[in-house]
């Protein structure tokens, strides 16, 4: 039996080209590292952004922290995010803000955090 991987290979190639053009993967890696590996990615969205002098992307990311230790890491994430110095190649994080926080206690502690970030293209 022969399997044709050309469609899968084309999709993988397109995903790699997109990852090189947009900073979403390095950004998510940096956010998860800031979350001490305790955050679970719930969703990510990205849209183009431009002003008269700058171009970039605006990102919305939602993370969940489940369990007491993870919630503690999530609270540290919330405190650290606005002043964190990101190191994302060819990008400058111009703004990083927490826009929503949702705490629940039962059946186990859980913290959901939604953040928005503005990344500017470095020229």
- pLDDT at 1 (0 to 100): 42
Count of structural domains within the chain: 1
What's the CATH code of the domain at 105?
Answer: 3.30.2000.30
Closest CA to 29 of 71, 78, 73, 63: 63
Q: Is residue 72 part of a domain?
A: yes
What token pair was written down for 93?
């994080």
The string of pLDDT tens digits covering residues 8-45 is 555 555 555 444 456 789 999 999 999 999 999 999 99
User: Alpha-carbon distance 65 to 103, whole Å?
Assistant: 10
The string of pLDDT tens digits covering residues 54-109 is 999 999 999 999 999 999 999 999 999 999 999 999 999 999 999 999 999 999 99
Supply the range of the domain harboring residue 88: 22-121
Residue 2 reports pLDDT greater than 90: no
5 backbone φψ class: left, alpha, beta (φ>0; ψ -120 to 50): alpha
């Amino acid at each position: 039996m022969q399997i044709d991987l050309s469609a899968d290979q084309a999709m993988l190639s397109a995903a790699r080209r997109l990852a090189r053009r947009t900073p979403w993967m390095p950004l998510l890696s940096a956010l998860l590292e800031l979350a001490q590996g305790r955050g679970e990615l719930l969703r990510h969205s990205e849209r183009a952004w431009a002003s008269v002098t700058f171009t970039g992307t605006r990102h919305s990311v939602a993370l969940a922290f489940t369990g007491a230790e993870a919630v503690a890491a999530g609270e540290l994430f919330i405190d650290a995010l606005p002043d964190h110095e990101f190191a994302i190649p060819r990008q400058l994080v111009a703004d990083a803000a927490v826009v929503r926080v949702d705490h629940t206690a039962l059946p186990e502690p859980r913290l959901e955090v939604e953040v928005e970030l503005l990344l500017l293209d470095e020229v």
